[in-house]
A and B are shown apart, each in its own frame.
Chain A
C-alpha cells in the first residue's frame, strides 16, 4: 500500500504536466518545514531523481523543483545522495543552457553540495582527465563577467562555491594554476559592491594561501592584483604620506593616497591578515612583502583597528615580521665595469 507521500512522489513523474506541476509545488512546500523534510528524507531514493529530472523542464516545474532541492540539500545525507546521483553534472548542464531561468537557485544548490568533499571533488571533475576543471572555469567566468549592477545577480553565490572547493588541495591547485589564471580573475572582484561577492573572494584567497609553502610563485607572480586586494582592507582609513607610498608599487601607492571606503566586514579583514601571514611565513614571501612596504601598511592600519579579533590578527602578523628579521633589503652587489 503506497502512502500518500509515495503517491505524491510518484506524481512527479506523471506524463501529465498539470499533475507534475501540482505535485512539485506541494513537495516544494513540504521542504520548507522541518516535518516535511523529515518525511521526504525517507523517500530520498525516489524523490531526488524525480526532482532532478524536472530541473530540465519549463520554469513552472523547474523553479519549484530547484527550490525543493536547495532546501533538501541542506541536509548533508541528502546532499551526499544528490552528489552520488550526479546532481552536480545535471545542475551545471541546466545552468549553462541558453535562457536558463533558475540560475540563482542552481548556484545555491551547488554551494550546498560543495560543502561536502564528494561534492567539491565532483565539481572539480578530478576524475576526468580531459574535462578536469572545466566546470570551475565556467563558473569563474560567469562570476567575473556579471556584476552586481544588474538587479538580479544570479552568480553572486559562486564566490561561496569557490570558498568550498578551495578547502580541498585539488581545488587550490586548480585555482592557483598560472596557465588558467583563475585566481587572478577572482581577485579582481575584491572591491565589488556586493558583500557576498567580497566574502567569496577573500574566503577563497585566504584558503589558497595555505598552498604558500609549495606554490608561492603562483601567488607572488600575480602580486599586482594580490597585494592591493590583501592590503587595502587592512590599511586603515588614513591617507598615506608620499614618503610611504613612494616605496610601494604605483597602483597600491595611489590607492592609499586618496580617500577610500573602509571595509566594514571584520571577517574579511581577519582573512586578509591571515592570508598575508601565510605568505610571510615563506622567505620569498617575506621579501616580496617588504619590497611593497607592506609592514608599514600593517603598522598604520593597526593604529585605527578596534575589533578585538582583527587586532589579534594584526598582532600575530606583526610579531612574525619582527621575529623574521628587521628591514630586509635585497642584497645585491654591483660591479662597476
Chain B
C-alpha cells in the first residue's frame, strides 16, 4: 500500500506512482476546499474569523499548493488577522505572501496597513512604495501611502523636537558646569512653575529670578536676569518711585532701604543626570531617561539637613548675578531665589538674627 512506503526505498512501480498521484490530487482538492471554506467563514462575520484562520492554516499546511496559491492563502489570513487586530501576525503573513508571489498587490497593501498599525512607519512606507511600483494607479495604496506619509512626518517632527530639547538641555548643563555653579532641588515650585535658565546665542546665561519678601511672604519675579547684569540696574527698575508695593503701607520697601540676601550652604547639589532630567521637564523630551549619561553624583555640596539658623549672605548690589551665583556655598534652588528685606522694618532685626526661616514646602 503506497501510504506506508519508506522514503529511500525502491523506485516506484506504475501502480505505486498512480497511488501517490491520487493522494496528491486529494490533498490538493482538500486544500482548495479549505480555502473556499475559509473565504465563506470570513463572509459570515466576526464570530467566524477564527474559523476562517483555522481553514487557511490547514490549507497552507497541506503543503501541496503552488507558491502563488499559497501566497493567496497567506494574504487572506493576513486580511483576517488585520480585522482581528492581530497586527503582528498580519504582518508576518503578508510578508510571507509577498515572498511567495512578489506580484500580489493585496499582500503589499495588507503589509503596509499592518506596519502602519504597528507604528513601523519606515516599513509601511517601503511596502507601500513597492506595491505602487507594481500598480501605480492603485487608489487604495495611494490613499494608504498618504496616510503613512502624514504620520511619518508627524513622527519625524516630534523626534526632532525631542532631540532639540535634549541637546539644548545638555548645553545648559555644560554651561552650568563650566561656570562651577551648583544647582539643587527647586523650591517654591508653585511660584516659579517650570521656569528655566536660557542660553543666548553668545552662550551667556539668562536666569529667571524669584524675589521673596520674607516679611510678608509675597513674591516678585524677574523674568530675564542676564548673568552679566548688575543687581542695581534691575532693582532700580523694580523699585522705581512710581511703583510702590501694594502691601507696603509703611513705605518701608523703598529702593534705598532694601537689601537682598541668599541662603548659603543649604540643600544638596543635584547630580548631572538629575539636573538634566529637571531641565527636560515640561519640554518635548520630558519622558526621556537620560540613558548613557554617567551618573556623576555631586561630590561637593553638603548633604546638610537644615538644623539651626539659616545662614544669610548679603548681596552686593554692584556685583553681577554671575558673581553671586558662583559662590561655592550658594546651592541654587532650581532657579536663584533672593530674599528682600527692608532696613527700616522691625522685621529686619529678627531676620538678621536668624530667627526667621523660609517655610519648607
Contacts and interface: CB of A to CB of B under 8 A. Distances in A.
B129 to A, nearest CB: 44
A282 B230 CA distance: 19
Interface string A256-285: 000000000000000000000000001111
B246 interface: yes
A311 interface: no
B337 interface: no
In terms of DSSP, what is the predominant structure of the interface of chain B?
A: mixed
Interface stretch (A5-13, A97-105, A236-244, A329-337): A329-337
Given A221-B322, A337-B221, A330 B229 contact: yes
Interface stretch (A68-76, A191-199, A247-255, A317-325): A247-255
A253 B318 contact: yes
B186 interface: no
Q: B221, B318, B320: which has the most chain A beta carbons within 10 Å?
A: B318
A178 B178 contact: yes
A248 B230 CA distance: 9
A217 B203 contact: yes
A80 interface: no
Interface in A168-224: 178-179, 215-217, 220-221, 223-224
A291 B230 contact: yes
Contact of B179 (A178, A284, A285, A331): A178
B238 A337 contact: no
Nearest to A214: B203
B218 A337 contact: yes
B226 A330 contact: yes
B316 A283 contact: no
A221 B223 CA distance: 21
A220 B204 contact: yes
Nearest to B316: A250
Interface residues of A, number: 32
B313 interface: no
Q: B204, B221, B224: which has the most chain A beta carbons within 10 Å?
A: B204
B235 to A, nearest CB: 11
Interface string B203-232: 111000000000000111111111111101
A216 B204 contact: yes
Contacts of A217: 175, 178, 202-205
Contacts, number: 98
B250 interface: no
B228 A223 contact: yes
Q: B218, B220, B223, B233: which has the most chain A beta carbons within 10 Å?
A: B233
Interface in B232-264: 232-234, 237-238, 245-246
A292 interface: yes
A331 B224 contact: yes
A91 to B, nearest CB: 33
A288 B200 CA distance: 13
B202 A221 contact: no
A179 B178 contact: yes
Contacts of B228: 220, 223, 284, 287-288, 291
Interface in B150-203: 175, 178-179, 191, 200-203
B318 A250 contact: yes
Contact of A332 (B200, B202, B237, B245): B237
B297 interface: no
Given A249-B318, A336-B220, A330 B246 contact: no
Nearest to A224: B323
B319 interface: yes
Given A248-B318, A249-B320, A332 B204 contact: no
A330 B204 CA distance: 14
12 contacts: A179-B178, A221-B227, A246-B232, A250-B316, A284-B204, A291-B229, A330-B233, A330-B234, A332-B237, A334-B222, A335-B221, A336-B220
Given A249-B320, A284-B204, A285-B202, 10 more contacts: A179-B178, A221-B179, A223-B322, A253-B318, A330-B225, A330-B234, A332-B225, A332-B234, A334-B237, A336-B246
Top-3 shortest CB links A-B:
A284-B202, A288-B228, A284-B204
Interface of B: 175, 178-179, 191, 200-205, 218-230, 232-234, 237-238, 245-246, 316, 318-320, 322-323
